[in-house]
Amino acid sequence: MKTTTIVAALTALLATADAQYVKPPKTTTTKTTTTTVAPAPTSFPKPYQGNPWVNAEQFINPKFPADVRKAANKLQAAGFPNLAEKAMESAKYSTFIWLDNIASIEEKLIPSLAKAEKDRKKIFGGKKLLVPIIIYNLPERDCSAMASAGELFLNQDGHRKYREEYIDVIKRHIAKYPNLRFALIIEPDSLPNIATNMAVPKCAGAQDAYISGIAYAIRAFQANNIAIYLDIGHGNWLNWGEESRLNGIAPYVNATRLAAPATYRGFASGVSNYRPLWDPTGAGRDETTFATEMGKVAEEAGLPSKWIIDTSRNGVYPPHEGYLEHGGWCNVRGAGMGPRPGLFSNSSLPNIDALVWAKTPGESDGTADRSAERFDENCVGPQAMLNAPEAGAWFQEQFVMLVRNANPPLTDSPEYSWDY
């Protein structure tokens, strides 16, 4: 599709969306309180300029090595020393810090930032240290599924809590560390759900909150040491042809307009999924094809379009017989750790900044317990592992599988090169 045609199609699509879109009110009133939202600023500091992975060491989320050590000890005790050694090797790679509720600011963010600053000074000799963080707490989160449903709800003051008790607090803590560098992924699955799941009542009801909440986050994190990437699903979600891409990019255009003049670096794809970098079946819904094809649509819509891709669990494709037929996103059988996180260097794919481990290998996608409040049927489907715990909880059996099936294999070899 030619650029002029894409722009025309987007303009028509967004005219309809704009007519339906209700911006958040300036003031909300109850019987007892009146809360006024301050006018949005009209100018912002420039965000980090350039690829944040260039000339930066990567911070090791301290939770991951601690969990890996426990897992390796179990393997050692069970008589699998070689597997335990491979498991320990995975602990040296950077994984994102998931801030998935308000309490995680105190539990995860504050100690991680203090450790990162200490590491920067004592281990890395003052070099730049990149701290990767996922912002994940929109009201009505995970609107089309249940496995990762969140703590905030629109009918319980969720929109205000998201801004004032979550985003603003994170911003204040990050601002204390101007010598650290940050890469933020904003709200996995949110805008893709708005693009494709408006027939789900919860998603339709959350549309305004998602768009305005993400715009607020973009504005909040404007700083010269922060690079922002908006989650954009994955290639098997939004890359089914031109119409799919146009519909897929529309909510990003709306969020970008609402955030302006604040801006962001680009997009994060494949977060917590299993899609490959390249699809050997030739279907074209792999992540590098997605970054290329959706990237062009984003650029033609006037959006920034640098990409990072989650490779934490995409080392085997397809992970098992039947995956191509059934798909699946919850604790997929047969998966393995994928390419190691780091700077991506490929002259034919200049819009990809880095490969990352956004999802922590070994943390569950969702519970297989049918009696659980957050049970989702996808977590007991034909693609899913049995006996999985709640989303985010450590899943030993999954971790062992990911280590065993890692591709490239986990060895003591030098750092893997991403110069494809």
For residue 137, say whether it is annotated as part of any ligand binding site.
no
What does the pLDDT read at residue 384? 94
Q: Is residue 394 part of a domain?
A: yes
Q: Confirm or deny that 98 is annotated as ligand binding.
A: yes
Where does 242-371 show beta strands of DSSP type E? 266-269, 306-310, 342-343, 352-356
**Residues contacting 237, CB < 8 A, separation 6+:** 192, 196, 248
Cβ burial, residue 412 (10 Å; 0-12/13-18/19+): exposed
Which residues are registered as beta bridge partners of 295? none
How long is the chain? 420
Q: What is the DSSP letter of 24?
A: P
Q: Which residues are catalytic?
A: 189, 365
Q: Is 419 inside any structural domain?
A: no
> Is residue 168 part of an annotated ligand binding site?
no
Identity at 54, one-letter amino acid code: V
Q: What is the pLDDT of residue 328?
A: 87
Q: How many domains does the chain have?
A: 1
- Residue 240 resides in a domain: yes
DSSP 131: E
> Using alpha carbons only, what angle is made at residue 119 by residues 115 and 122, rounded to the nearest 5 degrees?
135
Contact 312, 263 (CB under 8 A): no
Does residue 38 belong to any structural domain of this protein? Answer: no
pLDDT of residue 83: 94
Would you say 359 is a known binding-site residue? yes
Containing domain of residue 261, as a range? 47-404
In a domain, 13, yes or no: no
Sequential pLDDT tens for the chain (420 residues): 555 566 666 666 555 544 444 344 333 333 333 433 445 667 788 899 999 999 999 999 999 999 999 999 999 999 999 999 999 999 999 999 999 999 999 999 999 999 999 999 999 999 999 999 999 999 999 999 888 889 999 999 999 999 999 999 999 999 999 999 999 999 999 999 999 999 999 999 999 999 999 999 999 999 999 999 999 999 999 999 999 999 999 999 999 999 999 999 999 999 999 999 998 877 778 999 999 999 999 999 999 999 999 999 999 998 987 787 767 899 999 999 999 999 998 889 999 999 999 999 999 999 999 999 999 999 998 899 999 999 999 999 999 999 999 999 997 543 433 332
Specify the pTM: 0.91
Residue 31 lies in a domain: no
Would residue 409 count as lying in a domain? no
How far apart CA 214 and CA 211 sit, in angstroms, is 5
Please list, residue by residue across 232-258, b when 16 or more beta carbons sit within 10 angstroms of its beta carbon and e when fewer do: bbbbbbbbbeeebbbbbbbbbbbbbeb
Residues 6+ apart with CB under 8 A from 102: 137, 151, 161, 165, 166, 169
Helix (H, G, I), strand (E, B) or coil at 213: helix
SS3 94: coil
Per-residue exposure over 113-124, b if at least 16 CB sit within 10 Å of its own CB, e if not: beebbebbeeee
CATH of the domain at 142: 3.20.20.40
Pairing state between β 226-231 and 266-269? parallel
- 394 annotated ligand-binding residue: no
3-state secondary structure of 395: coil
18 marked ligand binding residue:
no
Domain for residue 34, yes or no?
A: no
Contacts of 87 (CB under 8 A, 6+ apart): 68, 71, 72, 75, 399, 400, 403, 410
- 157 marked as binding residue: no
Show the tokens assigned to 92: 């040296």
- How many Cβ atoms sit within 10 Å of the Cβ of residue 369? 15
What does the alpha-carbon distance between residue 366 and residue 398 come to, in Å, rounded to a whole number? 12
C-beta separation of 392 from 330 below 8 A:
no
Q: What is the DSSP string of 319-347?
A: SSTTHHHH---SSBTT----SPSEE-B-T
d(CA 102, CA 380) in angstroms, rounded, equals: 29
